[in-house]
Amino acid sequence: TPSSGTLTQVRAVGIGVHVLIRSRPGGFVYDDAELDVLAADVAAAAAGGAAGVVIGALDSTGNVDVRGCRRLIEAARTARQPLEITFHRALDVVDDPVSALSLLADLGVDRVLTSGGAARAGDGLAQLARLTGAGTGVEIMAGGGVRVEDVPALIEVGVHAIHLSAKRLVPDPGATGP
């Protein structure tokens, strides 16, 4: 989750910002204390002017954590400016992504970010096609290792949006410390 300062600086560019809400690296199973932090981060993102949040929580069986997701969605929808909801790549590790997508639609999720369960979205085309063909009304955003040359195939399977990273290495001229 970015700091409020980062959110302020990115918003100053003039584009809508969707904030990733994650309190730690690792899995997607959160206890109640972690959900408290995540819900507070959703509220902070809303207060900072985010257009949306990117969330995801799974239960101990690897399925969508309905109770946890409801809590985060409620925090986003009851903000002064209701936020768009994207469910992140936790979808890529559930046993039945199409069923999970239907459940997420029922919960009110606007979109899912998914690679189709593959390391790279360009390798998950079959699953992405199943998700886009499910007709849930949830936008399917392909993401994860997307390269420009993958875009035509992603469009062909019907994804609604594509998430690309714009990374570059920047040398650090200073000492890095111990």
At 84, the amino acid letter reads: E
Beta carbons within 8 Å of 97's beta carbon, 6+ residues apart: 91, 114, 117, 127, 130, 131
- Going residue by residue through the chain (178 aa), what tens digit of pLDDT does each one get? 899 999 999 999 998 999 999 999 999 999 999 999 999 999 999 999 999 999 999 999 999 999 999 999 999 999 888 999 999 999 999 999 999 999 999 999 999 999 999 999 999 999 999 999 999 999 999 999 999 999 999 999 999 999 988 778 888 888 776 6
Can you tell me the distance from the alpha carbon of 91 to that of 116, in angstroms, rounded to the nearest whole number? 8
Cα 20 to Cα 2, 15, 152, 154, distances in angstroms? 8, 15, 27, 23
Beta carbons within 8 Å of 175's beta carbon, 6+ residues apart: none
The answer to whether 128 and 95 are in contact (CB under 8 A) is no
pTM: 0.92
Q: Which long-range contacts (CB under 8 A, 24 or more apart) does 23-30 make?
A: 27/58, 28/56, 28/57, 28/58, 28/65, 28/90, 28/93, 29/57, 29/58, 29/59, 29/60, 29/65, 30/57, 30/65, 30/68
The predicted structure's pLDDT at residue 174 = 83
Tokens of 14: 């003039």
